[in-house]
Each structure stands twice: as structure tokens, then as C-alpha cells.
Amino acid sequence: AEAADDRESEGGSSPSSPSRPPAGRSRRRWPLLLCGTLNFNGRSGPHDGSSSAEYRAVREELRSSLGEVRDLLYDTQGSHPVTYADTRIAAAGEVPAERVLTNAEVYESDTLRRQCLDYMFFFPQQAWPPEGLGVDDAGGGALSTAPA
């Protein structure tokens, strides 16, 4: 039954159906965790873990499309952690922290080394049902426009 409810809330019914959220509103009902390598650098520079312009633009797009968003790695670290081409300081200067997964030539470039490409974005549960829609108790959880 929950799967059917999810299909309805995701637009599985006709365009005139009251189960569709108003235009411009998110259709997401459940919390969402988006994790992975998203291939944009969240860091402003190799030694600056503050948010890059590209990161801010992507986060704003996620927020406007899916609602409130939290970057779990940033929230726990206080900056964007290096997840690709990390380096460490040694007696010989700055040296690669690992040499197996990253092409050696990457370490020669200030723009390619010490990047944050991996993310854990959390989107909390949204209020359900969307404003203006009530839950029809007799219909097994189907949405109606009748006052709740």
C-alpha cells in the first residue's frame, strides 16, 4: 500500500488529480539521503575548505528543487574535506597522501589536487500532506481536497 501511495504522490495519477502537489512544489514525501561522487569541487582552493561558487550554485539548485538540504560532511567537519588527490606535508614539502587511486599528474596542478568531490546531502522529511490537501481516512490514505 505504501508503494501505491508513493506512486500517487510522485505524479502517478492524472494531472487533474488532487494527489498531485501544486505547481512549483516538491513532490517528495520521505526524507532523502543523496551520497556519492558528484564531480564538482566544493572547495574554494587546495588549502581553502570554504564553499566554492560552484558548490553554492549546486546546493541552491538542490534546495529549490527538493527543499531544505544539509551537507552532512560539511556540517561535521566545519569545512569541505578533501576527498580526491589529498596531500600531506613532509620533510620534502607537500607530497601525495595516496598514490594508487589518483593519477600522479593530478598532484602537479593546483586546480586538480585537494578537491572535495564526494558528498552526503540530507533532505529532511517534508510536511505531508502538502498544504491545501487533506488525507481521506476512508480511502486508505488517499488524498482529498476536503478540509481535514
* Cα–Cα dist 63/124, whole Å: 11
Average pLDDT over residues 105-134: 86
More confident residue, 24 or 40: 40
Question: What's the pLDDT band for 28 if we cut at 50, 70, 90?
Answer: confident
Q: Which residue has the cell 600531506?
A: 88
Question: What's the pLDDT band for 55 if we cut at 50, 70, 90?
Answer: very high
* Cα–Cα dist 106/101, whole Å: 11
Query: Does pLDDT of 10 surpass 50?
Result: no
Mean pLDDT of the chain: 80
pLDDT tens sequence across 66-105: 999 999 999 999 999 999 999 999 999 999 999 999 999 9
CA dihedral 56, 60, 61, 66 (to 10 degrees): 140
pLDDT score for 86 = 96
Phi-psi region of 27 (alpha: psi -120 to 50; beta: other; left: phi over 0): alpha
pLDDT score for 126 = 84
